[in-house]
Amino acid sequence: MKSKKDFNQKGQALVIIAFAILGLVAFLGLAVDVGRTFIAYGNLRKAADAGALAAAGQYREGRSIAQLEAAARDVMNLNGVTPTYLSVEVCDYSVAPENQDPVLCTYPKRKLVRINTTASIDMTFLSVLGLHQFEISSSAVGEAASMDVVLVLDISDSMTYDAATDDPMIDPAACNDTVTFDGSED
């Protein structure tokens, strides 16, 4: 015989299971979507570094800010990141130094370029809870530094010291076919 108390509790387990499944999806969403966000943030930082180097390379050649931004955006796209926002900053040494960014405006003068970028990440599981996109941002500084390169080619006997005696590369003439071993030209 059923009591009135048992009759009123039908379907209660279904509601509890529905809330439990919603909670599991929320935790799954945190695990997956937060992990994807950290991976996307790392990719954005790498792309921002590459974009800053590309912009610095263009800054060395005296290009405009729009051209610096286009170079940075192209390199970021090549790195698999499509920024929703991108800005390029350089130092304007014609303005008083106290009104400038001390990171970009250094003395002695350096050709520094900063890019600030933002990208949107689409959420997979957290969109069930109403969070459809998440914004991540990064900045990077690149320098258009001059480099001195010295190339030294040594074909002296010291470079062939440990070569086998039957090795044809022991003879310097093998490297340069116009000069023979005795110094005369062919």
pLDDT tens for 145-175 read: 777 788 887 767 666 666 676 766 666 666 5
- The answer to whether 65 and 56 are in contact (CB under 8 A) is no
CA angle 50, 151, 166 (to 5 degrees): 120
| Whether 181 contacts 171, CB under 8 Å | yes
Distance CA 41, CA 135 (A): 10
Mean predicted confidence (pLDDT) in 98-106: 82
Q: What is the pLDDT of residue 158?
A: 67
Query: What was the pLDDT predicted at 113?
Result: 93
Query: pLDDT tens, 118-155?
Result: 999 998 877 877 888 999 999 999 998 777 788 887 76
